[in-house]
Amino acid sequence: MENSEFAKVFWNIAELLELKNGNPFKVRAYQKAAQNIENLSDSLAGLYKAGGLKALENLPGIGEAIADHIEEIIKTGKVKKYESLVKEFPKGFIEMMQVPGIGPKTALLLKKKLKIDSLAKLRRASNKGLLKDLPGFKEKKIENVKKGLELKARVKGRFLLSEADRYATGIVDEMKKHKEIDQILTAGSYRRGQETVGDIDILVTSKKPEAVMEAFTNLPQVERTTAKGPTRSSVVLKNGMQADIRVLPPKNFGAAAHYFTGNKPHNIMIRELAIKKGLKISEYGVMRGDKWIAGRTEEEVFKSVGLPFIPPELRQGTNEFELAKAGKLPKLIELSDIRGDLHTHSNHSDGGNTIEEMAAAAKELGYEYLAMTDHSITTRVAGGQTEKVLLKELDEIDRINSKLNGIRVLKGAEVDILPDGSLDFSDEILKQLDVVTASVHSNFKMPREKMTRRIIRALQNKYVNILSHPTGRLINQREPYEVDIEKVIREAKETGTYLEVNSYPNRLDLSDIHCRRAKEEGVLLSINTDAHAALQLRLMKYGIMTARRGGIEKNDVINTRPLAKLLKLLYAKR
């Protein structure tokens, strides 16, 4: 089983326990376990195979009971606790709960009044106008349910970039073990770093394509093979994602890499450029008449139409050709440019590790600094701290910094933006912090104008450095709240506030489009992980991929600066 499959079981157990008003500490334990498993770089099943229960119990957020559940899943494919919980709820209840806008009471009401126990039945009832007859179903609620159904339909078959990354990386690592493979590359929307990925496209050169096909279709990640040919095969992976592999002659590899990486508008535009030069570009190469003239590398393909190499993330069919022709392609930010993370959590709120453990993990990544930004009091579900408790954490950070070498823990907090735009902590507390990130965690359904005023008021506080996950979206789960992001960007510029690119896989917020707008307005960004466990500090790469799609460069991001320069930026607003 893949990590995502284990995580899904624990998310569901947490949700069902919560619905039963179960022990909140147990609910949180299952949520933490699911969260940590989702972002574990190693295979959970592989760790168990190598080190048994002890290896599982050493993972953050995985105690003895959850380790036993993992072992049970590995051995039997199911967990008795989960099976018994499911039986306590009506058929289709969990499926209904996954629709944004439908809570447990609504799911039960739909079952009781209209016998709705599936998404198909809910769509039919919605289309027939039957929901308006239910108690509590006013126009706004019906609209929210419709939007939730639309979101579910739109994201069907789309997987988070992080999940695609785990599968793609695992497949490539396995395939590289075979000496028959000379070159291998993952292309498609995954290579462009899109926030969701439909399928995985893998390109290979080899003198023994039959051996490659055999190896690919027998990978441990494969659920079933849907097509197997001499140079191309398709499989369905264990998470339901499709993966294709093509074996190519070396002279076609660059052309195929280009063709299967760029989106449709990009490929149309480059073909039009080629036609103007009397050329034809396809996945097989660059042709002049019947003569093949280029295609071994992507650089050859771009050079044939008079362009420099365009990074994969920019091949979106927007303005990349104009920038390339003018010699103005951005030098995109790299993961290695990041010097620290300015949005992380410890076990002082809802994190799974101590401050020292988080700092040690950050130091291992080569960071110079790490901001500890545990939650403020209003976010009680995430262990939000009172001002008094926060002051104790600040004292602890001083003690830790006195012992640390090579990295500094910055004093911070993730402070809730309250509905009126005021902040959860007083200015007297905020001025004692190095980093203040402000976030919306409640009242997501406020009208657009009111939400915009709320956020703008927060940005006007002289102690707020960063607006975290600025639109509140959860990819494939929740739409952004209604906010005039253009006004927010302009206010950020006016007030000297920085906007976050949250690297958490289901956030990636700001999006690439909004990153581009912030850059155009001269607003600096902060790329952070929102890590709730030491392992999650490695999620930074997904924020980097998002920023690269937005054309972001090293100097556009504050946490590419060394500590002294960063502190100047953080204190400049005061």
Task: Give tens-digit pLDDT for 217-234.
Answer: 999 999 999 999 999 999
pTM value is 0.85
Which pLDDT band, with edges at 50, 70 and 90, does 39 fall under?
Answer: low
Picking from 271, 263, 277, 123, the residue whose alpha carbon sits closest to that of residue 190 is 263
Whether residue 105 is predicted with pLDDT greater than 90 in this model: the reply is no
Is residue 460 included in any domain, yes or no? Answer: yes
| Same domain for 142 and 110 | yes
Tens-digit pLDDT profile for residues 311-335: 999 999 999 999 999 999 999 999 9
Picking from 443, 467, 457, the residue whose alpha carbon sits closest to that of residue 343 is 467
Q: Which of 122, 155, 188 is the last residue of a domain?
A: 155
CATH number at residue 127: 1.10.150.20
CATH number at residue 507: 3.20.20.140
| Same domain for 403 and 490 | yes
- pLDDT score recorded for residue 464: 98
Is residue 330 included in any domain, yes or no? Answer: no
Is residue 24 included in any domain, yes or no? Answer: yes
Is residue 29 included in any domain, yes or no? Answer: yes
Whether residue 15 is predicted with pLDDT greater than 90 in this model: the reply is no
Contact 313, 548 (CB under 8 A): yes
Contact 85, 96 (CB under 8 A): no
Residues 33-45 have a mean pLDDT of 77
Residues 416-439 have a mean pLDDT of 96
Contacts of 566 (CB under 8 A, 6+ apart): 339, 340, 369, 558, 559
Contacts of 175 (CB under 8 A, 6+ apart): 181, 184, 202, 204, 212, 215, 216, 219
> DSSP alpha helices (H): ranges in 156-220?
161-175, 188-191, 209-217
Lowest model confidence (mean pLDDT) among 20-24, 391-395, 465-469, 476-480: 20-24
| Same domain for 237 and 381 | no
Residues facing residue 410 across a β-bridge: 371
CATH number at residue 259: 3.30.210.10
Contacts of 118 (CB under 8 A, 6+ apart): 92, 95, 96
Tens-digit pLDDT profile for residues 522-563: 999 999 999 988 888 999 999 999 999 999 999 999 999 999
Q: Which of 248, 265, 284 is the last residue of a domain?
A: 248
- pLDDT score recorded for residue 157: 77
Contact 204, 184 (CB under 8 A): yes
Is residue 316 included in any domain, yes or no? Answer: yes
Say how many domains are in the chain. Answer: 5
| Same domain for 365 and 236 | no
Helix, strand, coil share (%) of the chain residues, nearest 5: 50, 15, 35
CATH number at residue 221: 3.30.460.10
Residues 477-504 have a mean pLDDT of 96
Burial class (CB in 10 A: 0-12, 13-18, 19+), 259: buried
Whether residue 381 is predicted with pLDDT greater than 70 in this model: the reply is no
Q: Which of 202, 218, 248 is the last residue of a domain?
A: 248
Contact 235, 222 (CB under 8 A): yes
| Same domain for 149 and 60 | no
Is residue 100 included in any domain, yes or no? Answer: yes
- pLDDT score recorded for residue 41: 65
Answer with the residue of higher pLDDT: 104 or 284.
284
| Same domain for 316 and 268 | yes
- pLDDT score recorded for residue 432: 97
Cα–Cα distance between 145 and 134 in angstroms, integer? 13
Cα–Cα distance between 486 and 141 in angstroms, integer? 28
Is residue 242 included in any domain, yes or no? Answer: yes
Instruction: Calculate Rg over the CA atoms of the chain.
Output: 25
User: Which residue range(s) make up the domain with 119?
Assistant: 93-155
| Same domain for 166 and 23 | no
Contacts of 327 (CB under 8 A, 6+ apart): 308
Whether residue 293 is predicted with pLDDT greater than 90 in this model: the reply is yes
Which pLDDT band, with edges at 50, 70 and 90, does 18 fall under?
Answer: confident
Phi/psi for 502 (5° steps) reads -80, 120
Rounded mean pLDDT of the chain? Answer: 92
Order of strands, edge to edge, in the sheet holding 242-248? 181-186, 199-206, 242-248, 232-237, 222-228
Is residue 259 included in any domain, yes or no? Answer: yes
Picking from 278, 231, 270, 277, the residue whose alpha carbon sits closest to that of residue 252 is 231
- pLDDT score recorded for residue 138: 85
| Same domain for 174 and 285 | no
Q: What percent of the chain has pLDDT over 90?
A: 66
| Same domain for 263 and 240 | no
Cα–Cα distance between 202 and 61 in angstroms, integer? 35
| Same domain for 424 and 516 | yes
Picking from 551, 531, 549, 550, the residue whose alpha carbon sits closest to that of residue 540 is 531
Picking from 175, 549, 157, the residue whose alpha carbon sits closest to that of residue 332 is 549
Contacts of 246 (CB under 8 A, 6+ apart): 201, 202, 203, 204, 231, 232, 256
| Same domain for 510 and 416 | yes
Picking from 502, 556, 507, the residue whose alpha carbon sits closest to that of residue 341 is 502
Q: What percent of the chain has pLDDT over 70?
A: 98
| Same domain for 311 and 222 | no
Burial class (CB in 10 A: 0-12, 13-18, 19+), 332: buried
